[in-house]
Each structure stands twice: as structure tokens, then as C-alpha cells.
Structure 1
């Protein structure tokens, strides 16, 4: 439980910092390419140091960073400036705990349990970032791929041949859909981040899982689009649906 909450706490920092920092890098590179001045100060990156309050910039102490409990003890406000803390912080920590908790009843090997906890935490992190900014950091997809392959080496749930084939076909599946839309519709219907994500999911659960993951993701995506009344030309992040479907398929195929 404690590990899950700690991962959730780390995810909140990554989710709040990384999109802003990456956007700063893109803007800086664009200005340099166009030979335009760019004097903006960089926002904090994920590994730039101790956590700060986003409002008053006060350095947070260890007791300000205790997952969920710190939020409750301060009644959802910064201890120093009294500004409201986004509810997404404790909700992300709680989501990490609730999602990973069933692993205690599935995995008996502590190494596999730790790897699966990392995989689940990454899926939550990817889902939230993609939902907010509609792109997936490459480092998250690479980490997910690394943990997926490591899990299959440790647990031998599927063969490495199946894992590698799942990785390759997962990537090619999304890239093919993207290319078809570019040829016939001249639009980018789906991003390469989703292709890398499905490649990692295929490496984790194998070739046969790809059909179910795509099927569940398509169904849930369509249902959401209908109930949220998304317009035909409104963009919709597909990554969260892929992550949810991978988790769903994992629990369906691991009923003990």
C-alpha cells in the first residue's frame, strides 16, 4: 500500500511538471530554429529538486508530501499560503492505490508484484497526461516497454518471442491506421505516442491480447464520445482508453 501511494505521489509531481517543461523546450527550440530571441525562464522539471507550492513557491517539507494524509490534514490547502491544492493530487494517489491493490491477490512473487505496480502506475500517469495535453512522453512509453519485457523475463507468462511480436504488431497496427488516414483523409487521426503505447502493451500481454485491448478501447472510446457529445472533428485522447483496456484485459486473464 505504501509503495502504491508513494508512486502516486511521484506521479502527481511528474504530471504537473513535465508537460510544462516539455512545452518550454519545444518553444525554445522553435525560437532557436527561427533565430528569434527567447528569454523565458524554464519551469521546474521532474528531477529539478524538492517540491514547491505552485502558488507561493515555498519549499514543501516531508510532512507536506505524505500521500492523501497531508491533503486531509491541511483541508486541501497549502500550509503556507492557504491556496487550494488541486483535487487531482490526492485523487491520483488514491487511483494508484485502488488500481494496484488487487495485485496483492494476483501476484505471489514480490519481484513480479513490484514490476506490475510500476506498470500500473505508468499506465495511470500516461492516461492522465494524455487526457490533459493529448500527447504521451516518450520516456513513459520506454519505461513501460522496459518493465513489460522485464516482467515477462521474470514471470514467463508469455514467451519473449510472443512479447516481441506483440510489440512489433502493436506499433504497426496504429501506424497503419495513421497512414491510411493520411492517405485517404489527409489528417493525422492518431498519434505516434499511441503506437508506442500499444507496442509496450503488446510486449506486456502478447500478440493475442492486442485484439482485445483494441476492441475494449474502441468500445469505451465510442461510448465516451457519445455520452460526452464529442463532435465529429473534435480530438479525443485515445491513450487513456488503451491503458484502461490493458488493465481490464489483464484482470480478465488473471482470475485466480
Structure 2
């Protein structure tokens, strides 16, 4: 698909809007899920639970987390609203976290290279959503050491759909990548549980690798796991991470998948 200057501007705006939605996702989802877990635990133990329900990703309009004023459309323009208000809430003047415009910018910069691959429109849109979702997963796992199942499931479904659009061979590789990706992590986890009685890696990482395998197929699956392992080891060494300290592996899987994807389509 050929892009005019106008098309590039429209695509950039689309990426920024996805980034804006992703900022809401990474802020709201952990709070809502943790609230749900506490509520279920209290109900299981038959203990009163009186916490107010936080906003979920799909519920309620955007609002200031401090004064709770509903934000107008002009308060939600990606990056520009932050710059115009000098990083403050328009109503209570509370400082707004820099992570909001940085997440939007990360989504834009991560997706713009897709224009160099010359993808058809449908694969371009699907891949754009996959990459922005990977950014959201990375942020949540880095901050909370937890990967939302529905985010991995979204990537898995989009990955299968993308390869279905390409060919039967691509779909076959996609299904194999999904199955083997999941079994690889589960096997590593089970070995550690059996031999050392520790949970070396979580099932969230298994689901994420299955989703990445569905997206990039069996051929790239081992590159993703290899590069992610190298990145994880380098991070642990540079930060003097102890062997018994937990560390989020999801961001390294996402970064590795990003590298592998563009290595495949831009270098070769």
C-alpha cells in the first residue's frame, strides 16, 4: 500500500489515539483487577468488603485521578494536551504523570516503521494494534509483574487472523508457534517446580509467548525466546539482580518480538 503525506498523518494520528487508549488501559486495568481479586478473596473468606469499585478500561469517561473532573475532548488530544496544559490538570492543576505522553509517543514511534514494510491496509491495522498492545503488556508487567490474559488473548486472536489473511502455510506456522510457545514455557516451569520446588516463570509468560508464536509463527518463535533470554540476562547483570529476586520477563519477550518482527521484514 502506497502512502501519501496525508495518509501518513492520518496513520500517525491513529497510532497516537491507540497510545492514548493504552495509557488508560495500563492505569485502569491493574487497579480494577486487583480490586476484583480482593473482593473475591473477601467473599471466599466471608469477610465484609466495602471498597468502592474503580473504573475499568471499558467503563466511565476519562477523568482526573485527583479531582475526578470529567475530561473534555480537548483535554485528551494525545501529547498536545499535555504540552498545552504544561503537564497539569486543567481543573485542579495537579501534576500529570509524564508516563501518559511517553506511552503515546512510544506507540507512535514503534508503529511508524511499519510504513516502510508496505503492508496492505488490513495487515497494517492488525499489526499496529498488536504492537501497541505489546507496549501496554510491557508496562503492566514491568510495574506489577503480571500480564493480563485478555491482552495476550487479543494478540493471539489477531496473530491467527493476520496469518489467515496471508496463506494456509502461514496459518499452519502460526498455530504451531502458538502451541509450541505455550508448551515451551510450561515445560520450563514444570522442570523447575519438580527439581527445585520454585516457580521460575509464570503462566502469564507462557500465554504471552503463545500469542507471539501465533503472530510470528514457529520460525521466529525461537528467536523471540533466545533474544528475550539474552536481554533478561543482560538486565540482571547490569542491575546486579540476585538469583532469588523476581523479575518481569514479559517486557523482554515483547522487546524481542518487536526486534524479531522488524529484523524479518526490514533487514531481509
> Shorter chain as normaliser: what TM range?
over 0.9
CA shift for structure 1 position 155: 2.7
Aligned with 1:95 (options 71, 89, 106): 106
Query: CA separation in 1, counterparts of 2:260 and 2:119?
Result: 19
Q: Mark the runs of 5 or more structure 2 residues left unpaired by the alignment.
A: 1-11
Preserved CA contact (<8 Å) 1:158 1:205: no
Q: Distance in 1 between matches of 2:240 and 2:68?
A: 39
- Shift of residue 107, structure 1, vs aligned partner: 3.0
Residue in 1 aligned with 2:207?
Answer: 196
- Tell me, yes or no, if structure 1 residue 75 matches structure 2 residue 86: yes
| Aligned twin of 1:244 | 255
Partner of 1:148: 159
Q: Distance in 1 between matches of 2:117 and 2:140?
A: 28
Aligned pair partner of 2:115 in 104, 109, 117: 104
Report the Cα distance in structure 2 between the residues aligned to 1:33 and 1:49, rounded to whole angstroms: 28
Q: Does 1:139 align with 2:150?
A: yes
Contact conserved, 1:15 with 1:128, CA < 8 A, in 2?
yes
8 Å contact from structure 1 (residues 119, 147) kept in 2: yes
TM-score, normalised on structure 1?
0.98
Report what 1:43 is aligned to.
54
Q: In the superposition, relative to structure 1, how do residues 102 and 75 fare at CA in structure 2: closer, same or farther (>3 Å)?
A: same
Query: Which residue does the alignment assign to 1:126?
Result: 137
Tell me the CA shift for residue 108 of structure 1: 3.1
Aligned length: 256
Q: Give the deviation of 1:156 after TM superposition.
A: 3.2
Tell me the alpha carbon deviations over residues 111-162 of structure 1, each in whole angstroms, 9 at most, x when there is no partner: 1110110110111111111111011111101100011011111233952211
Query: Secondary structure of 1:206's partner?
Result: helix
Q: Structure 1: where are the runs of 5+ without partners?
A: none
Most deviating of 72-81 and 147-156: 147-156
